[in-house]
Amino acid sequence: MSPGPEGALRFVKGHGTQNDFVVIADPDADLALGTELVAALCDRQRGIGADGLLRVARSGALVSRGVLDALPDGVSPDDWFMDYRNGDGSVAEMCGNGVRVFAHFVRATGLVDTDTFPVGSRAGARPVTIHSFDDVHAEVTVEMGVARLDGSYTVRIGDDIYPGARVDVGNPHLACVVAEMTADDLAAVDFTAGVTIDSAAFPHGANVELLTPPKEDADGGLTARMRVFERGVGETRSCGTGLVAAARAALHGRGADSGTLRIGIPGGEVTVTIAPDGSTLRGPSMLVADGVLRPGWDR
């Protein structure tokens, strides 16, 4: 898939647990993806509408075009690179749900013909395993790297203050495991009342997660529920890096540096496994629609 005749642009719409993306294949990085263009494409009234945009390009082409200064850690020039943008047009280092959708897209369109391969991101290479896929559905595990705890901070949401942990998953998070919070309490939190973090502690902003304390289910597994307010987007129905950050913080609160959590978010459920030397995120991807932007759509 590539830009079509007379400026027509093909896209696919996909989501990972309802964190939704416009996916554009641009192997040679020909498109000038400016902030305004991305924001317009992701706008739910004047564009296609999405939480973010995934450009599918060869890593080496992004360096040649000056989109990337250099290849990130572990990324080779021929690797497919997820050039991720938030819905407001800003660039982010990583997107966990985005990697699942990206991997599904390159596998289902035949750009890749194996079930394990690396996906390039600004945070470094993120190896993936495709457990199953067809043109619409896939189940994908992403190796998300080490989730690093980095101090305690708070967030104000409306009139309420929540303590949390700063966690680096390649992008910045403030993960708040809220003592005694039930799923109903979590559902009642009003992000529209305003979400304020300490800008000195988070000079580049942060994604904010609220998580209920993990509980043991009938099988002895740990489960929790989460909501997220994303940098560059607002509340989304899921955030892969946020789920890893929240799982890391929750296990740490239980005195553990490894373990597995099933976490429910408004858009579905994923499984996160944390270990001292890395973490994984397993969940679904859906490719929902193919489309073509009409020339002049943005004027």
Ligand X SMILES: N[C@@H](CCC[C@H](N)C(=O)O)C(=O)O
Judged by the rule CB under 6 A, the positions of this chain that interact with ligand X are 19, 52, 86, 92, 95-98, 171, 207, 230-233, 236, 239-242
Smallest gap from residue 292 Cβ to ligand X (A)? 26
| Six token digits for residue 58 | 């060869």
180 is in an annotated binding site: no
Q: Which one from 71, 239, 247, 293 is the annotated catalytic residue?
A: 239
Smallest gap from residue 84 Cβ to ligand X (A)? 7
248 is in an annotated binding site: no
Minimum CB distance to ligand X smaller for 57 or for 60:
57
19 is in an annotated binding site: yes
Minimum CB distance to ligand X smaller for 29 or for 239:
239
86 is in an annotated binding site: yes
Minimum CB distance to ligand X smaller for 15 or for 58:
15
205 is in an annotated binding site: no
Minimum CB distance to ligand X smaller for 47 or for 232:
232
| Nearest in space to 177 (alpha carbons), one of 240, 232, 136, 225 | 225
Q: Check if 95 is active-site.
A: yes
| Nearest in space to 297 (alpha carbons), one of 1, 66, 41, 36 | 41
The rounded distance, in Å, linking the Cα atoms of 20 and 92 is 15
The rounded distance, in Å, linking the Cα atoms of 295 and 124 is 35
| Six token digits for residue 248 | 């890391």
Q: Which one from 24, 38, 57, 95 is the annotated catalytic residue?
A: 95
Per DSSP bridges, beta strands 172-177 and 207-211 are parallel
Smallest gap from residue 233 Cβ to ligand X (A)? 5
Smallest gap from residue 155 Cβ to ligand X (A)? 15
- DSSP state letters, 20-76: EEEEEE-TT--S---HHHHHHHH-TTTSS--SEEEEEEEHHHHHHTTSSSSPPTT--
The rounded distance, in Å, linking the Cα atoms of 249 and 253 is 6
Point out the residues that are catalytic: 95, 239
